[in-house]
Structure 1
Amino acid sequence: MYKIHNFTKEQKLLILTSRITMSEENRLEICKILDEGINWFEFYKLTLYHKTFTLCWKNIENVKADVKISKYLSNILKFSYSGIKEQNRLFLNELENVIEALNEDCIPCLPVKGAMLINKMYKEHGIRYMGDIDCLIRYSDIEKIKKNETSWVYTRNI
């Protein structure tokens, strides 16, 4: 593993837990950092900034299930997880509507980023924040979409 130098313990923990898979060496490093103690509010601030709060915490629980955080942060985590899960459910339902509408017009659409990764890699809808739906379409189909009577489907915000 590469060495993480000149970072705070909270920054190191963020780097180590912001991933889907990890090596045994990563797990040992996470345990070492947790045993030394960290500032949970600083860690929370970093994970919020990088939109990885629920993913990082899930990984921490998987590596060291007996880690305790304040009841306040624990409640925030539960609410964040639930909110992200529900938002992602809405986005993924909307993605199905967009793909269906595009298919009716014979326009191929390729979901990318969160729209594709949540089901394929993350599996759990509450650990990957998704702020929008990203899809690739052919440049030549843009005018066709603009002319379509149901084009509101393609630009609507949730």
Structure 2
Amino acid sequence: MKVGLSPEITLLLMACSTNLSTEKKTQLTHFLSQHPLNWERLYALAGRHRLKPFLYQTFLQIPTIPESFLAALQQDCRISSTDNLLKLHQYHVVSAILTENNIDHMPLKGIFLAEHCYPDSGLRISGDIDVLVRKEDVFKTVHLLQTKEYHLNQQQRLHWQQGEQVILTDLFEVSLFKPFFNDSYFDIDLHWQILGFNRHYALFDLAYVRSEPTFSTEREVVLLVIHHGVNNVWQQIYYVNDLYFFLNSRGINWDRLMQELRLYGLEHVFLAGLYWCYQVWNIQLPEFIHELVLSPRIYSLAEAYSKNWEADNSSEFSTLILKQLSFFIKAQTKFNKQLKICSTFISSRVFRYSLFRVGKRLIYLPKELGFITILIRTIQSLFRFLPTHR
């Protein structure tokens, strides 16, 4: 394990286990005796990295854990486990509605992984319910969900007023919410395209996954790497766990997977995540993949990603956008890919719509206004970097 990691992050990585061996218990007990912990920070980081279920399951088998800390974890895990079950049930309700109306769809990320890849769905804390549909089914799906008490938020309603063509041109997903109990909601992110870094670099859709059924699993890995590795720079440890459990639960055609990843410049982003799958979970890999994962270049890239784990909060907005650019460029070995990343980054920031708030009112500016929109977004981005807005 990396020496430079804090005791809290190191412990969270060590706690990622589904079957704690006697040897691992001994290692953990020794580690706890040798490294004073900031228990408050450990609790906060376990929440940020969505690892409380793993930490609780592990700490139940370690005798030296403070009872108050264990009790807090137990309560959190009860809540998240119930929340998962409710979201999973709601997804199945939505899925049945879409199936009845002949709408092809597939779940993405949390709900899908919790149900089909993790050994216990309670280990994978889920956020929104993510569903991918075909572009031609977007409005039919939204109207169906609205009949089931789902609503668009203020920002989405503003876009809806611009017309269907504008929505399909400007957006790649739409968010809907359904009140559940008190201040609780079911949130659905309805996707019809997945951004690969940005709209001008690569776009993926349901047809991409469905077009070659023999390699649909490998293409699902591509979508996972896009979301977790490129768009979110592996900045939370549960992203690594997602990759491990998906790969471990599927038969992978490694040659085809690497070919697909290489096509989009994703090879090293994937291998950096796979490096941590190996370090944390000792994932079994083909020899040629194992050699790639342990190469100096991938080690260096994986270490750079792991520096994001120590932050109190996940990067968002302008900070995350800059990290996406920086890490994706670092992950390339060919100049033409680096050039494409830079050129599409610039074009995607210029030729896009903007929403900005004046008082309580949201204002929409179409992408045709070009540099006016980028000027507004630049000011907004700089504003977010001010200390009072971090």
TM over 0.5, yes or no? yes
2:153 matches 1:137: no
- Report the TM-score when normalising by structure 2: 0.35
Shift of 1:97: 0.7
Name whichever of 4-13 and 140-149 sits farther off.
Answer: 140-149
Counterpart in the other structure of 2:7:
9
What is the match of residue 337 of structure 2? none
CA deviation vs aligned residue, 1:8-48 (integer Å, no higher than 9, x gap): 21111122334658999977754542342442333212111
1:150 — aligned with what?
147
Equivalent pair of 1:84/1:127 in contact (CA under 8 Å): no
Q: 1:66 aligns with which of 53, 62, 76?
A: 62
Summarize the alignment of residues 48-127 of structure 1 with structure 2, pairs less than 5 Å apart: 48-61=47-60, 65-127=61-123
Deviation at 1:66?
A: 3.1
CA contact (8 A) 2:56 2:74 kept: no
Q: Give the whole-Å Cα distance in 2 for the aligned partners of 1:25 and 1:66.
A: 12
Answer yes or no: is the 8 Å Cα contact 2:59–2:65 preserved in 1. no
Residues of 1 paired with 2:115 and 2:19: CA distance?
16
Cα-Cα RMSD: 2.8
Structure 1 gaps of 5+ residues are: none
Opposite residue 67 of structure 2, the aligned amino acid is K
83-92 or 7-16, larger mean C-alpha shift: 7-16
Letter in 2 for 1:143: F
Equivalent residue of 2:131, what SS? strand
Stretch of structure 1 that moved more, 105-114 or 117-126: 117-126
State the secondary structure of the residue aligned to 2:117.
helix
What's the secondary structure of 2:123's corresponding residue? coil
Q: Deviations for 1:114-136, whole angstroms, at most 9, x for unmatched residues?
A: 11111222232332211211121
Contact 2:20/2:58 (8 A) holds in 1: no
Residues 78, 105 of structure 1: alpha-carbon distance in 2 compared, 3 angstrom cutoff: same
Task: Summarize deviations over 1:47-100 as a string: whole Å, max 9, x none.
Answer: 112121122332454xxx233322221211111111011101110110011001
What's 2:32 paired with?
34
- Stretches (4+) displaced over 6 A: 21-28
CA gap of 1:28–1:141, structure 2 versus 1, over 3 A, is farther
Q: Distance in 1 between matches of 2:47 and 2:140?
A: 39
Q: Which amino acid aligns with 1:98?
A: V
Q: 1:109 to 1:25 in 2, by over 3 A?
A: farther
Q: For 2:67 and 2:21, how far apart are their aligned partners in 1? A: 30
Q: What is the SS of the residue equivalent to 1:48?
A: helix
What is the deviation of 1:105?
1.0
Alpha-carbon contact 1:145-1:151 (below 8 Å) kept? no
Task: Compare the two structures and name the one with the higher strand fraction.
Answer: 2
| Structure 2 CA distance for aligned equivalents of residues 137 and 21 of structure 1 | 37
Instruction: Extract unaligned runs of 5+ from structure 2.
Output: 152-175, 179-184, 187-390
CA distance in 2, matches of 1:68, 1:31: 8
The aligned amino acid for 2:70 is: S
When normalised by structure 1's length, the TM-score is 0.78
Distance 1:5 1:124 in 2: 31
Query: In the TM superposition, what is the alpha-carbon distance from 1:106 to its structure 2 partner?
Result: 0.4
